[in-house]
Structure 1
Amino acid sequence: MNRAIAAWQRLEGKPFGKTLFSRVICWKAPYFGSIKPRIEEFRPNFVRVSMPKRRAVQNHIGTVHAIAMCNLAEMAAGTMTEISIPATMRWIPKGMTVQYLGKAETGVEATATTPEVVDGPARDVPVNVDVRDRAGQLVCHAVITMWVTPRKKP
């Protein structure tokens, strides 16, 4: 079993477990900590991550900054890819296309999804990420291309 999934299963039902798990992810990838994300759901081919609206992620008009939403989308896509690809594979983000569809005047949630990835040759794997405000309105859509390759043999 993937180490991240095992840690999630140990923590998710405990008091502050989701928050603690999210902080561990941010310790491994410190830049994500700047948005104070919280992983809400975590399973292969689906991850949901929330981000509160606070001054540090706002733009000049008081809505959630577009780049903060990109950061959230990348975190959702990366953690989802990590638990979705075979253990014989590794990944790295290769590109991102983003559509900003509305103002995010509240905290937001990103959901990342991808079809099943099987063992095989190096290839691009698209990860779809929708970012919605607290009312469920789609405010941002991203497709993050992951470069998935076989792990080098020791």
Structure 2
Amino acid sequence: MVYDRIKQQMMDTLPMVRLLGIRIDSIGSGTSEVSMPDDAKLHNHLGTPHAGALFTLAETASGAAMAGGFAELIADMRPVAKESRIQYQKLAKGATRASGRVPGDLAALKAQLAADGKVAFPVDVDIHDEHGTLAAQVQVDWYLSAKR
């Protein structure tokens, strides 16, 4: 299945993601679920998941959702994260998971890509801890163009 290939490609080419123990649990058409274990090596001075680890979790979820949204085209595309914004809501405690989603109309985004050879769009991500607490909300703006 194409989503499994995307998942494997991401895990093979993103050593930082593997270093943090991040796992891509699922990819769908413009969606993703990604998780990170609770590990003392990833904690901050408060004993909770470090902001940098949470950001990497969210960026991974955004990339997986972006790739899932363009699954049939992504192998020939050059995706670049242009900008990111993160709003920390509460301290995360324990293992964390991130849910990514492309909020726009995927058909319209693909039509723009076909017409212009490039497209820019946001991906929204919510990070929850193992207790269900919303720890952070993230938006990553992606730029997608054909490989040269």
Q: Number of residue pairs matched?
A: 137
Could you tell me which residue of structure 2 aligns to residue 54 of structure 1? Answer: 39
1:95 aligns with 2:83: yes
Rounded to whole Å, the distance in 1 between the matches of 2:39 and 2:50 is 10
1:106 aligns with 2:94: yes
Could you tell me which residue of structure 2 aligns to residue 71 of structure 1? Answer: 56
Could you tell me which residue of structure 2 aligns to residue 32 of structure 1? Answer: 17
Could you tell me which residue of structure 1 aligns to residue 5 of structure 2? Answer: 7
Relative to the length of structure 1, the TM-score reads 0.79
1:118 aligns with 2:110: yes
DSSP-derived class of the 1:127 partner: strand
**How far is 1:126 from its partner?**
0.2
Rounded to whole Å, the distance in 2 between the matches of 1:95 and 1:84 is 19
Unmatched segments (≥5 aa) in structure 1: 9-20
Rounded to whole Å, the distance in 2 between the matches of 1:68 and 1:142 is 13
Unmatched segments (≥5 aa) in structure 2: none
DSSP-derived class of the 2:132 partner: coil
**How far is 1:140 from its partner?**
0.7
1:139 to 124, 127, 135: 135
Identical amino acids, percent of aligned pairs: 25
Could you tell me which residue of structure 2 aligns to residue 16 of structure 1? Answer: none
